[in-house]
Protein backbone atom coordinates (compact mmCIF):
# COMPACT_ATOMS: atom_id res chain seq x y z
CA UNK A 1 0.00 0.00 0.00
CA UNK A 2 1.34 3.41 -0.98
CA UNK A 3 2.53 5.72 1.77
CA UNK A 4 -0.28 8.20 2.47
CA UNK A 5 2.10 10.74 3.93
CA UNK A 6 4.59 12.11 1.35
CA UNK A 7 8.07 12.86 2.66
CA UNK A 8 8.69 16.31 4.08
CA UNK A 9 11.13 18.06 1.69
CA UNK A 10 10.79 21.49 3.27
CA UNK A 11 14.34 21.43 4.60
CA UNK A 12 15.72 20.67 1.14
CA UNK A 13 13.60 23.48 -0.38
CA UNK A 14 14.84 26.01 2.17
CA UNK A 15 18.42 24.93 1.53
CA UNK A 16 17.96 25.33 -2.25
CA UNK A 17 16.44 28.81 -1.90
CA UNK A 18 19.19 29.87 0.50
CA UNK A 19 21.90 28.66 -1.85
CA UNK A 20 20.31 30.42 -4.83
CA UNK A 21 19.88 33.69 -2.92
CA UNK A 22 23.53 33.65 -1.90
CA UNK A 23 24.72 33.76 -5.51
CA UNK A 24 26.14 37.19 -6.34
CA UNK A 25 25.72 38.59 -9.83
CA UNK A 26 27.53 41.66 -11.16
CA UNK A 27 25.07 44.27 -12.36
CA UNK A 28 26.81 44.34 -15.74
CA UNK A 29 25.94 40.64 -16.20
CA UNK A 30 22.26 41.08 -15.34
CA UNK A 31 20.22 41.05 -18.55
CA UNK A 32 16.65 40.13 -17.62
CA UNK A 33 14.19 39.15 -20.33
CA UNK A 34 10.69 40.42 -19.88
CA UNK A 35 8.00 37.77 -19.54
CA UNK A 36 5.33 40.24 -20.61
CA UNK A 37 3.35 39.16 -23.67
CA UNK A 38 1.66 42.02 -25.54
CA UNK A 39 0.82 42.76 -29.20
CA UNK A 40 3.78 43.86 -31.29
CA UNK A 41 3.74 46.14 -34.32
CA UNK A 42 6.94 47.22 -36.04
CA UNK A 43 6.16 49.55 -38.96
CA UNK A 44 8.57 48.91 -41.81
CA UNK A 45 7.95 52.40 -43.17
CA UNK A 46 6.48 55.54 -41.59
CA UNK A 47 2.94 56.64 -42.32
CA UNK A 48 4.38 59.75 -44.02
CA UNK A 49 7.80 60.47 -45.54
CA UNK A 50 10.24 61.55 -42.84
CA UNK A 51 12.87 64.27 -42.52
CA UNK A 52 15.48 63.34 -39.91
CA UNK A 53 16.43 66.84 -38.77
CA UNK A 54 19.21 65.78 -36.38
CA UNK A 55 21.92 63.35 -37.36
CA UNK A 56 25.70 63.16 -37.77
CA UNK A 57 26.86 61.60 -41.03
CA UNK A 58 30.38 62.97 -41.49
CA UNK A 59 32.10 59.57 -41.35
CA UNK A 60 29.56 57.79 -43.57
CA UNK A 61 29.31 57.12 -47.28
CA UNK A 62 26.25 59.00 -48.58
CA UNK A 63 25.35 56.11 -50.89
CA UNK A 64 25.20 53.69 -47.96
CA UNK A 65 22.97 56.13 -46.10
CA UNK A 66 20.69 56.56 -49.12
CA UNK A 67 20.10 52.81 -49.24
CA UNK A 68 18.87 52.85 -45.63
CA UNK A 69 16.78 55.96 -46.29
CA UNK A 70 15.08 54.32 -49.27
CA UNK A 71 14.38 51.17 -47.27
CA UNK A 72 12.84 53.08 -44.36
CA UNK A 73 10.97 55.92 -46.07
CA UNK A 74 13.34 58.71 -45.00
CA UNK A 75 12.93 61.61 -47.42
CA UNK A 76 15.86 63.72 -46.20
CA UNK A 77 18.51 63.77 -43.47
CA UNK A 78 20.02 66.93 -42.04
CA UNK A 79 23.67 66.26 -41.27
CA UNK A 80 25.04 68.35 -38.43
CA UNK A 81 28.67 68.40 -39.44
CA UNK A 82 31.20 68.46 -36.63
CA UNK A 83 33.86 69.83 -38.98
CA UNK A 84 34.92 73.48 -39.12
CA UNK A 85 36.80 75.65 -41.61
CA UNK A 86 37.55 74.21 -45.04
CA UNK A 87 36.72 70.71 -43.78
CA UNK A 88 33.16 71.86 -43.07
CA UNK A 89 32.83 73.26 -46.59
CA UNK A 90 34.09 69.96 -47.99
CA UNK A 91 31.51 68.09 -45.92
CA UNK A 92 28.70 70.27 -47.28
CA UNK A 93 29.95 69.54 -50.80
CA UNK A 94 30.22 65.81 -50.12
CA UNK A 95 26.52 65.41 -49.39
CA UNK A 96 25.30 67.93 -51.93
CA UNK A 97 27.17 66.07 -54.67
CA UNK A 98 25.67 62.77 -53.55
CA UNK A 99 22.03 63.86 -53.66
CA UNK A 100 21.11 67.51 -53.00
CA UNK A 101 17.41 66.72 -52.64
CA UNK A 102 18.06 64.16 -49.88
CA UNK A 103 20.71 65.79 -47.68
CA UNK A 104 21.15 69.15 -45.94
CA UNK A 105 23.91 70.33 -43.62
CA UNK A 106 23.93 72.39 -40.43
CA UNK A 107 27.25 74.09 -39.64
CA UNK A 108 29.17 73.71 -36.36
CA UNK A 109 30.14 76.70 -34.24
CA UNK A 110 33.88 77.27 -34.66
CA UNK A 111 35.63 78.63 -31.57
CA UNK A 112 39.09 78.80 -33.15
CA UNK A 113 40.47 82.32 -32.92
CA UNK A 114 38.23 83.23 -29.99
CA UNK A 115 41.10 85.17 -28.44
CA UNK A 116 41.23 87.50 -31.46
CA UNK A 117 39.78 90.99 -31.25
CA UNK A 118 37.93 90.42 -34.51
CA UNK A 119 36.51 87.01 -33.58
CA UNK A 120 32.88 88.03 -34.10
CA UNK A 121 33.59 89.42 -37.57
CA UNK A 122 35.57 86.28 -38.32
CA UNK A 123 32.60 84.14 -37.25
CA UNK A 124 30.11 86.13 -39.30
CA UNK A 125 32.34 85.79 -42.37
CA UNK A 126 32.60 82.04 -41.77
CA UNK A 127 28.85 81.74 -41.41
CA UNK A 128 28.15 83.69 -44.60
CA UNK A 129 30.58 81.50 -46.52
CA UNK A 130 28.98 78.30 -45.19
CA UNK A 131 25.46 79.46 -46.00
CA UNK A 132 26.55 80.45 -49.50
CA UNK A 133 27.88 76.90 -49.85
CA UNK A 134 24.55 75.44 -48.73
CA UNK A 135 24.51 75.28 -44.91
CA UNK A 136 20.97 75.49 -43.53
CA UNK A 137 21.73 76.31 -39.90
CA UNK A 138 24.34 76.76 -37.18
CA UNK A 139 24.76 74.58 -34.11
CA UNK A 140 26.09 75.60 -30.68
CA UNK A 141 27.15 72.55 -28.68
CA UNK A 142 27.26 71.98 -24.93
CA UNK A 143 30.91 73.10 -24.73
CA UNK A 144 29.45 76.62 -24.59
CA UNK A 145 28.76 77.17 -20.91
CA UNK A 146 30.81 74.19 -19.75
CA UNK A 147 34.31 74.32 -21.25
CA UNK A 148 34.79 77.26 -23.67
CA UNK A 149 36.83 80.03 -22.01
CA UNK A 150 37.70 83.54 -23.07
CA UNK A 151 41.19 85.00 -23.25
CA UNK A 152 41.04 85.82 -19.51
CA UNK A 153 40.37 82.18 -18.69
CA UNK A 154 36.76 82.80 -17.67
CA UNK A 155 34.09 80.30 -18.64
CA UNK A 156 32.02 81.77 -21.47
CA UNK A 157 28.36 82.00 -20.50
CA UNK A 158 25.74 80.78 -22.94
CA UNK A 159 24.10 84.21 -22.85
CA UNK A 160 27.32 86.25 -23.15
CA UNK A 161 26.33 89.41 -25.01
CA UNK A 162 29.48 89.24 -27.12
CA UNK A 163 27.79 86.45 -29.08
CA UNK A 164 24.64 88.45 -29.86
CA UNK A 165 25.73 89.52 -33.38
CA UNK A 166 25.96 85.86 -34.39
CA UNK A 167 22.30 85.25 -33.56
CA UNK A 168 21.28 88.45 -35.32
CA UNK A 169 23.24 87.37 -38.39
CA UNK A 170 21.42 84.04 -38.42
CA UNK A 171 18.12 85.91 -38.49
CA UNK A 172 19.38 88.04 -41.37
CA UNK A 173 20.45 84.89 -43.27
CA UNK A 174 17.12 83.22 -42.42
CA UNK A 175 18.70 80.14 -40.89
CA UNK A 176 17.85 78.58 -37.51
CA UNK A 177 20.34 78.26 -34.67
CA UNK A 178 20.42 74.91 -32.89
CA UNK A 179 21.40 74.69 -29.23
CA UNK A 180 22.53 71.58 -27.39
CA UNK A 181 22.91 73.03 -23.92
CA UNK A 182 23.57 70.82 -20.88
CA UNK A 183 22.68 67.12 -20.86
CA UNK A 184 20.28 64.71 -19.11
CA UNK A 185 19.71 65.55 -15.47
CA UNK A 186 21.43 62.33 -14.35
CA UNK A 187 24.69 63.61 -15.85
CA UNK A 188 24.74 66.41 -13.28
CA UNK A 189 24.16 64.04 -10.33
CA UNK A 190 26.76 61.99 -8.45
CA UNK A 191 27.60 58.66 -10.07
CA UNK A 192 26.27 56.62 -7.19
CA UNK A 193 23.67 53.90 -6.54
CA UNK A 194 20.82 56.44 -6.68
CA UNK A 195 21.67 57.59 -10.22
CA UNK A 196 19.19 56.02 -12.66
CA UNK A 197 21.85 56.02 -15.39
CA UNK A 198 24.60 54.62 -13.20
CA UNK A 199 25.70 51.91 -15.64
CA UNK A 200 26.00 54.35 -18.55
CA UNK A 201 27.95 56.90 -16.50
CA UNK A 202 30.13 54.30 -14.81
CA UNK A 203 31.14 53.15 -18.29
CA UNK A 204 31.63 56.76 -19.46
CA UNK A 205 32.55 58.88 -16.42
CA UNK A 206 33.80 61.62 -18.77
CA UNK A 207 30.13 62.28 -19.62
CA UNK A 208 29.43 63.42 -16.06
CA UNK A 209 29.17 67.14 -15.28
CA UNK A 210 28.64 66.68 -11.55
CA UNK A 211 30.45 69.46 -9.73
CA UNK A 212 30.55 71.81 -12.73
CA UNK A 213 30.74 75.54 -12.10
CA UNK A 214 27.16 75.91 -13.34
CA UNK A 215 24.22 73.66 -12.62
CA UNK A 216 21.96 72.35 -15.34
CA UNK A 217 19.30 74.87 -14.29
CA UNK A 218 21.85 77.69 -14.61
CA UNK A 219 22.79 76.61 -18.13
CA UNK A 220 19.20 76.28 -19.31
CA UNK A 221 18.34 79.70 -17.87
CA UNK A 222 21.28 81.22 -19.75
CA UNK A 223 20.13 79.56 -22.99
CA UNK A 224 16.55 80.69 -22.54
CA UNK A 225 17.69 84.29 -22.10
CA UNK A 226 19.30 84.06 -25.54
CA UNK A 227 15.97 82.90 -27.00
CA UNK A 228 14.19 85.85 -25.38
CA UNK A 229 16.74 88.46 -26.47
CA UNK A 230 16.56 87.45 -30.14
CA UNK A 231 12.87 87.11 -31.06
CA UNK A 232 13.62 87.44 -34.77
CA UNK A 233 15.95 84.44 -34.75
CA UNK A 234 14.55 80.92 -35.06
CA UNK A 235 16.05 78.48 -32.56
CA UNK A 236 15.97 74.70 -32.38
CA UNK A 237 16.53 73.38 -28.87
CA UNK A 238 17.88 69.88 -29.40
CA UNK A 239 16.99 66.76 -27.43
CA UNK A 240 13.61 68.03 -26.18
CA UNK A 241 15.35 71.18 -24.96
CA UNK A 242 17.41 68.88 -22.71
CA UNK A 243 14.37 68.56 -20.45
CA UNK A 244 12.89 65.25 -21.51
CA UNK A 245 12.51 64.44 -17.83
CA UNK A 246 10.45 67.60 -17.24
CA UNK A 247 8.01 68.27 -20.06
CA UNK A 248 6.25 70.95 -18.02
CA UNK A 249 9.41 73.07 -18.28
CA UNK A 250 9.58 72.50 -22.04
CA UNK A 251 5.90 73.44 -22.38
CA UNK A 252 6.55 76.67 -20.49
CA UNK A 253 9.47 77.48 -22.81
CA UNK A 254 7.39 76.91 -25.94
CA UNK A 255 4.51 78.97 -24.57
CA UNK A 256 6.77 81.94 -23.82
CA UNK A 257 9.08 81.76 -26.85
CA UNK A 258 7.27 81.43 -30.18
CA UNK A 259 10.62 81.46 -32.01
CA UNK A 260 11.73 78.12 -30.50
CA UNK A 261 11.34 74.59 -31.85
CA UNK A 262 12.54 71.38 -30.23
CA UNK A 263 13.69 68.09 -31.71
CA UNK A 264 13.16 64.67 -30.17
CA UNK A 265 16.54 63.20 -31.10
CA UNK A 266 17.93 60.59 -28.68
CA UNK A 267 15.13 61.21 -26.19
CA UNK A 268 12.67 58.39 -26.86
CA UNK A 269 13.89 56.77 -23.60
CA UNK A 270 12.61 59.78 -21.66
CA UNK A 271 9.45 60.41 -23.68
CA UNK A 272 8.43 56.77 -23.97
CA UNK A 273 8.39 56.05 -20.26
CA UNK A 274 5.82 58.81 -19.68
CA UNK A 275 3.43 58.01 -22.56
CA UNK A 276 0.37 59.89 -21.28
CA UNK A 277 2.23 63.11 -20.59
CA UNK A 278 4.29 62.81 -23.76
CA UNK A 279 1.26 62.16 -25.97
CA UNK A 280 -0.54 65.21 -24.61
CA UNK A 281 2.63 67.24 -25.17
CA UNK A 282 2.81 66.15 -28.83
CA UNK A 283 -0.85 66.93 -29.39
CA UNK A 284 -0.43 70.38 -27.88
CA UNK A 285 2.85 71.40 -29.54
CA UNK A 286 2.85 69.40 -32.78
CA UNK A 287 3.79 72.45 -34.83
CA UNK A 288 6.95 73.03 -32.76
CA UNK A 289 8.39 69.49 -32.69
CA UNK A 290 10.93 68.14 -35.18
CA UNK A 291 11.67 64.50 -35.84
CA UNK A 292 15.34 63.68 -35.29
CA UNK A 293 17.32 60.65 -34.18
CA UNK A 294 20.97 61.55 -33.41
CA UNK A 295 21.70 57.87 -34.04
CA UNK A 296 23.62 56.39 -36.96
CA UNK A 297 21.16 55.56 -39.74
CA UNK A 298 19.97 51.99 -39.30
CA UNK A 299 16.84 50.18 -40.46
CA UNK A 300 15.94 48.77 -37.05
CA UNK A 301 16.59 52.10 -35.32
CA UNK A 302 14.22 54.00 -37.60
CA UNK A 303 11.53 51.35 -37.24
CA UNK A 304 11.70 51.63 -33.46
CA UNK A 305 11.13 55.38 -33.78
CA UNK A 306 8.10 54.72 -36.01
CA UNK A 307 6.82 52.17 -33.50
CA UNK A 308 7.16 54.69 -30.68
CA UNK A 309 5.29 57.44 -32.52
CA UNK A 310 2.68 55.44 -34.42
CA UNK A 311 1.64 52.43 -32.34
CA UNK A 312 0.10 51.73 -28.95
CA UNK A 313 2.60 48.96 -28.23
CA UNK A 314 3.65 48.48 -24.63
CA UNK A 315 6.97 47.98 -22.92
CA UNK A 316 9.44 47.62 -25.79
CA UNK A 317 13.07 48.58 -26.22
CA UNK A 318 13.91 52.11 -27.20
CA UNK A 319 16.37 53.03 -29.98
CA UNK A 320 19.74 53.92 -28.50
CA UNK A 321 23.48 53.85 -28.85
CA UNK A 322 25.34 50.69 -27.85
CA UNK A 323 25.03 51.64 -24.18
CA UNK A 324 21.42 51.88 -23.07
CA UNK A 325 20.48 54.96 -21.09
CA UNK A 326 18.60 53.26 -18.28
CA UNK A 327 16.96 50.03 -17.16
CA UNK A 328 13.49 50.70 -18.48
CA UNK A 329 11.45 50.20 -21.63
CA UNK A 330 9.02 52.49 -23.42
CA UNK A 331 5.42 52.70 -24.64
CA UNK A 332 4.02 53.88 -27.97
CA UNK A 333 2.19 57.20 -28.32
CA UNK A 334 -0.23 56.24 -31.16
CA UNK A 335 -0.24 59.78 -32.54
CA UNK A 336 -2.96 60.83 -35.01
CA UNK A 337 -2.08 61.30 -38.67
CA UNK A 338 -2.12 65.10 -38.66
CA UNK A 339 0.38 65.20 -35.79
CA UNK A 340 2.58 62.54 -37.37
CA UNK A 341 2.75 64.35 -40.69
CA UNK A 342 3.58 67.65 -38.97
CA UNK A 343 6.32 66.15 -36.80
CA UNK A 344 7.69 63.85 -39.47
CA UNK A 345 8.11 66.48 -42.18
CA UNK A 346 6.05 69.69 -42.22
CA UNK A 347 7.95 71.51 -39.48
CA UNK A 348 11.32 70.59 -40.98
CA UNK A 349 10.22 71.68 -44.43
CA UNK A 350 9.28 75.07 -43.03
CA UNK A 351 12.70 75.54 -41.42
CA UNK A 352 14.53 74.24 -44.50
CA UNK A 353 12.33 76.45 -46.70
CA UNK A 354 11.54 73.52 -48.99
pLDDT in tens, 26-54: 877 888 888 989 989 999 999 999 999 99
Bridge pairing between strands 235-237 and 260-263: parallel
Q: How many CA atoms lie within 13 A of 237 on its CB side?
A: 29
What does the alpha-carbon distance between residue 350 and residue 339 come to, in Å, rounded to a whole number? 15
CA distance 340 to 120: 40
Q: What is the pLDDT of residue 279?
A: 98
Predicted confidence (pLDDT) at residue 19 exceeds the cutoff of 70:
no
> Which residue in 30, 319, 21, 32 sits closest to 199, CA to CA?
30
Lowest-confidence segment of 50-54, 197-201, 223-227, 253-257 by average pLDDT: 197-201
Distance of CA 167 to the CA centre of its chain: 22
The structure's pTM equals: 0.92
CB count, 10 Å around CB of 112? 12
Give the pLDDT of residue 29. Answer: 82
Nearest residue to 221 (alpha-carbon basis) of 204, 242, 205: 242
* 51-352 has CATH 3.20.20.140 classification: yes
CA 297 centroid distance within chain: 14
Amino acid sequence: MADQNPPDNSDKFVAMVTATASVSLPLSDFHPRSMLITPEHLPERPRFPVIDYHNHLDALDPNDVLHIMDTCGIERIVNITMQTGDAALSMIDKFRRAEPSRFSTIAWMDWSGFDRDDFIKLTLDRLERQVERGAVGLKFWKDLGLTVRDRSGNLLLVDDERLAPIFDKAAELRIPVMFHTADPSAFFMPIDPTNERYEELAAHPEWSFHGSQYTKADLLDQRDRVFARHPNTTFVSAHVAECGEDLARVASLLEIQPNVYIDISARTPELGRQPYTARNFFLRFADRILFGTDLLPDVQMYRLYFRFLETADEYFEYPSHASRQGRWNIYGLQLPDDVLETVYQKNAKALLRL
